Chain A
Amino acid sequence: DSGVTQTPKHLITATGQRVTLRCSPRSGDLSVYWYQQSLDQGLQFLIQYYNGEERAKGNILERFSAQQFPDLHSELNLSSLELGDSALYFCASSVAPTSGGGETQYFGPGTRLLVL
């Protein structure tokens, strides 16, 4: 158990809908990362927050957005869902964005999203 929690575990929804995925980082971790994993793309970095502020953006679509709250939990909002958005969505956390030569990211169990 990494200490990172994600809810829900599974989500089934229809095209055009909007969903919210939630992540609670490990105790003491200030940085939260979101990743998408699909069969053909592997793990793709979406976005990073550090202590409530956006720190880095990856391959995140405009239909997707995220935020980190004062209690450090984070939410990933996916809207106007398409069939191709079906994937595993992982949250990871680390102590800080930079720590010596690099920080270790600890991953949650993921949310499996199926868009029908």
Chain B
Amino acid sequence: EDQVTQSPEALRLQEGESSSLNCSYTVSGLRGLFWYRQDPGKGPEFLFTLYSAGEEKEKERLKATLTKKESFLHITAPKPEDSATYLCAARAQKLVFGQGTRLTINP
């Protein structure tokens, strides 16, 4: 069965303190690895799509990378407005989401 596991469940950082979120996936025939940001009570907001191992994508303070078994979302010098839940999803036959990492950035 396709599975996506994210760690840690929650992460609290000080403003400017860089870190990484992990997404491990087990899917048959990966057709894309997706990262979304979700604010409380809102719909997931698309961030990145990665298709093959070694691929990297960047947007402002975020950088996503992909290996054959996991993906990382690196956050560099985060700001309080980066606080949100970050969701990872892997697509084979359907999109399977992880449980998310709840990120809090303290000023």
Contact = CB atoms under 8 A, between A and B. Distances in A.
Interface of A: 2, 4, 33, 42-45, 48, 56, 58, 88, 90, 98, 100-110, 112
A108 B96 CA distance: 18
Given A42-B100, A56-B93, A104-B32, 12 more contacts: A42-B98, A43-B44, A44-B97, A45-B95, A90-B43, A90-B44, A100-B51, A101-B31, A102-B34, A104-B46, A108-B43, A110-B42
- Mostly, the B contact residues are loop
A107 B94 contact: no
Interface residues of B, number: 24
Interface of B: 31-32, 34, 36, 41-46, 49, 51-52, 87, 89, 91, 93-100
Contacts of A100: 51
A42 B9 CA distance: 12
Given A101-B52, A102-B51, A104-B34, A2 B96 contact: no
B97 A2 contact: no
A104 B96 contact: no
B97 A107 contact: no
A108 B38 CA distance: 11
B46 A43 contact: no
